[in-house]
Amino acid sequence: MWKLTGGIFFGWGLGANNAANLFGPSVASGMVRYRTAIILTSIFVIVGALLEGPKCMDTIGKLSGLIPMTAFACTLAAAVTMLVMTYFAFPASATQAIVGAVLGAGILMHTADFSKLYKIMICWIMTPVAGVLFSMILYRPFGYLVNTFFKDIYRRGIFLTAAVALAGCYGAYSLGANNVANVTGVYVGCGMLNPLAASLTGALSIAVGVLTYSRKVMMTIGKKIVPLDAFSAFVATFSHALTMHLFTQVGVPVSSAQAIVGAVAGVGLVKASRTVSSRIIINICIVWVTTPLSAGILSYVIASFLV
């Protein structure tokens, strides 16, 4: 069972990196305390993983024919990749890391199934687009409702605080439901775990990552892409959650980082395009390209020593 340590390490890295996508804007805007954010995230990640996590397991598990040793190599490579990205405070894609790693090991073992990659890549492209669209569509109607029913500044502040917290909880639920397959889906594919055990193992490891090492990337998402007020933080977080939940129903784990960057950028575009930091977005896009390549190469190397 020691081969599960790669997945546990990867789950920790995913939690440390992707918690920023759920509460980064609201923590940076001062609406939610960091400690409250990580506790809520941990709870709802576990709930989402247990209730809907198995929906995406097959997509990762069947991308390549794996044995327990190569499954370990894949998760270890993806974990190291995520750790490096987290250290430099880049919101990296766990989905791209594990897909790159699985294909890297699959190339070595001659079992990679590239025919299944097209659906995944289409969803990768659509993820930030969906985040942008949801934010742009929801911003003005939500703004009208808030301005109509909460004219008093004090009541509006209370409502927005609650709304931001609920949106973050929904985002954590969606993250658990969608991304737990990244952490332990390969172990289902190689027969080491059943979907329920894989969901629980992955969810707990993600929660530990959230609780121990998530502050750094949270500030990158919350402040450096576009400055957000409380209402904008709510719209961006809710749009991110909708995007993640949508692709869970399709059965494809997608990038939480791409979803929140799209959602935050969408808010910035509605308010004024000049507020969006193009430099930060370009840097993040570079990371999205290098993440699967780095994980794939590292997985190939690790698997070549182990198999």
Alpha helices in the chain (DSSP H): 5-18, 20-28, 34-52, 57-61, 68-87, 94-109, 117-149, 153-189, 195-212, 215-219, 230-250, 256-271, 278-306
- Token pair for 50: 């247990």
The per-residue pLDDT for 222 is 61
The token pair at 1 is: 């069972």
Within a 10 A sphere around the Cβ of 296, how many other Cβ atoms?
26
Q: What are 60's two structure tokens?
A: 């990762």
Q: What is the pLDDT of residue 275?
A: 53
Quote the CA–CA distance of 40 and 13 in Å, as a whole number.
18
Query: Structural domain tally of the chain?
Result: 1
DSSP reduced 3-state for 112: strand
Domain extent at residue 208: 2-306
Residue type, 290: T
User: Low-confidence residues of the chain, pLDDT below 50?
Assistant: none
pLDDT score recorded for residue 62: 80
Per-residue pLDDT at 64? 86
What span, in angstroms and rounded, lies between the C-alpha atoms of 244 and 259? 7
- What Rg, from alpha-carbon coordinates, does the chain have? 18
Q: Which pLDDT score is estimated for 113?
A: 86
pLDDT of the residue at 83: 85
